[in-house]
Amino acid sequence: MKRILLKLSGEALAGDKRHGFDEPTVTVVAKQVKQLVDAGVQVGIVIGGGNFWRGRTSETIDRTKADQIGMLATVMNCIYVSEIFRTLGMQTEVYTPFMCGAFTKLFSKDAAVADLNAGKVVFFAGGTGHPYFSTDTGTTLRAIEIEADAILLAKAVDGVYDSDPKTNPNAKKYDSVSIQQVVDERLQVVDLTATIMCMENKMPLMVFGLEEENSIVNALSGKFNGTVVTVD
């Protein structure tokens, strides 16, 4: 693969604390991404905001405002993680779909692709810029726009199962599953909006556990231990 979009959960970057940042965890991710960049892979990254805020954290405030807070949480995450990447010698840019002054660049496909071609790691913060759209949907949108070869989903669970492995010890893990099956069986990969976008635009996904050693590198090196979601 020449170009990938890596989706990281905010909670995963918080490590055992489950809130804020766990620098050793972020550094491990950065070292893996550097291996990919050094091998010539172009890497875009989307990070969730769940280590600071989830859309339903508050039952009091308006959903639109709650989602806007979540978008800002992803901006904080991307700025922080991009700086950790820079300490390891990588060049980075952070894009948002709305103006953030001097903090980020306003998203443009042409500019983002030019940065990827220049060998920079490109962070896509702020989701779609609109409420009611999840980070999954923002991830899929950016992957399609930059014409990524695949989306890599680094999650707390090590793949796609036929039921929740946390509640069902007999849950079956798939090595490979079609995007149609994901839709038909409502399998927990990404939300339905993102799933349909992947189906219509033939965007494959690779789902794996972030906590597994070298899982990001393994996804592209033939040692993949997660689930491939096919779109053929």
Among 138, 168, 189, identify where a domain stops.
138
Q: Are residues 51 and 121 in the same domain?
A: yes
Contacts (Cβ under 8 Å, ≥6 apart) of 178: 229, 230, 231, 232
pLDDT for position 60: 87
Residue 140 to residue 182: CA distance in whole angstroms: 15
Q: Are residues 99 and 19 in the same domain?
A: yes
pLDDT (tens digit, 9 = 90+) per residue, 20-29?
998 999 999 9
How many separate domains does the chain show? 2
Q: Are residues 167 and 123 in the same domain?
A: no
CATH number at residue 205: 3.40.1160.10
Residue 68 to residue 58: CA distance in whole angstroms: 12
Domain-located, residue 59: yes
Q: Are residues 158 and 178 in the same domain?
A: yes
pTM of the model: 0.95
pLDDT for position 88: 98
Residue 81 pLDDT > 90, yes or no? yes
pLDDT for position 55: 65
Domain-located, residue 94: yes
Domain-located, residue 197: yes
pLDDT for position 54: 76
Average pLDDT over residues 206-226: 92
Domain-located, residue 62: yes
Q: Are residues 21 and 125 in the same domain?
A: yes
Q: Are residues 84 and 190 in the same domain?
A: no
pLDDT for position 156: 83
pLDDT (tens digit, 9 = 90+) per residue, 86-127?
999 999 999 999 999 999 999 999 999 999 999 999 999 999
Question: Is the separation of the CB atoms in 122 and 112 below 8 Å?
Answer: yes
What range does the domain containing 229 cover?
Answer: 149-232
Q: Are residues 129 and 173 in the same domain?
A: no
pLDDT (tens digit, 9 = 90+) per residue, 44-75?
999 999 899 876 667 789 999 999 999 999 99
Picking from 143, 126, 144, the residue whose alpha carbon sits closest to that of residue 135 is: 126
Q: Are residues 112 and 17 in the same domain?
A: yes
Q: Are strands 160-161 and 173-174 parallel, antiparallel or unpaired?
A: antiparallel
Q: Are residues 166 and 52 in the same domain?
A: no
Domain-located, residue 225: yes
Q: Are residues 123 and 54 in the same domain?
A: yes
Q: Are residues 131 and 21 in the same domain?
A: yes
Q: Are residues 73 and 17 in the same domain?
A: yes
Domain-located, residue 38: no
Domain-located, residue 157: yes
Percent of residues, the chain, with pLDDT higher than 70: 99
pLDDT (tens digit, 9 = 90+) per residue, 169-202?
899 999 999 999 999 998 989 999 999 999 999 9
Among 138, 171, 194, identify where a domain stops.
138
Among 138, 157, 181, identify where a domain stops.
138
Percent of residues, the chain, with pLDDT higher than 90: 80
- Confidence bin at 207 (pLDDT 50/70/90): very high
pLDDT for position 12: 84
Highest-scoring range by mean pLDDT, 119-123, 158-162, 207-211, 224-228: 119-123
